[in-house]
Structure 1
Amino acid sequence: MTIEFRVKRVERFIVTKYEQQNSGLIGSSRQIGKEFDNFDIAYEVAHALAKAEQERLGLAPGDTGVIFPSQSLEDARGADSYRVDWYDRPAVSPVEEWSADDLVSGRVYESRNFGPVTYMGLDHYCGDTTHKFDTGLRDVRRDQYVKMDRLGEFLAPKAGKA
């Protein structure tokens, strides 16, 4: 299990908690507490929460089971929209290979974890090119970003395939 705390800007600043299960394919994010007027206060709260979680789990300092927030205001500003980074997760064996040629913008596909998702097209972020999908959910999980070589992990097998 991995638990990550981040500071994100929303006109003011909020603290979020992202939990990813050991499988690496299921995660959730939520806001912790109220909005903060400045980054420094939000950072101190996020850092204290991460430290408490690390101690509760009995993890040594530096263990990646709890990820502490960045001390950079610029990182918080870059986190304006929540992104589930499927491409950062451990690789698993996909059932069926998908390629960019298989996808059509606006078409609905079946995902492994979110049911029907609409393919929105390519997205470029921090030097990575990802596929953007709209889950239709009305929360922070609405947009899902999938790296090119991870389509088979995110999408259900192609029709007629095992």
Structure 2
Amino acid sequence: MTGMMLSWTFWALASAVFAALTAIFAKIGIENVAPDVATLVRTVVILVVVAAILTATRGWQAPSTISGRSWLFLILSGVATGASWLCYFRALTLGDAARVAPVDKLSVVLVAVFAVLFLGEKLSPAHWFGVGLIGAGVVLLSLKI
């Protein structure tokens, strides 16, 4: 891999691009589809794609090599992801993608707060200012004006 592809910023930006496409594709795809069914389809596609990637890269790992603590938190993460997706698709059926997606990204603000509270991470005043700007942006984008 190139140096750029080993950078967290490369992968975070790629994630943002795919998340943006997710909102657009989902908004188009949920026409006349129940949001929970749309979530199931999305989940099955993800399962197949990730299984194919693991097979192609020989990245499979024996379940017995994963600690109980890791299992617990991965399962909790999966439950939270599923709940997030169900809520997201429901919101997309009721609102505009250009307003739903930014409100969904309020998760950025919540991650910063939770990371400080639960993981002991530290944010500088400049970082907190940025988090505040994201929060303010979410509020502005959610208003129907």
Q: TM-score range by the shorter chain?
A: 0.3 to 0.5
Q: TM-score, normalised by structure 1?
A: 0.33
Q: TM-score, normalised by structure 2?
A: 0.36
Bigger RCO of structures 1 and 2 (CA < 8 A, at least 6 apart): 2
More strand, by proportion: 1
More helix, by proportion: 2
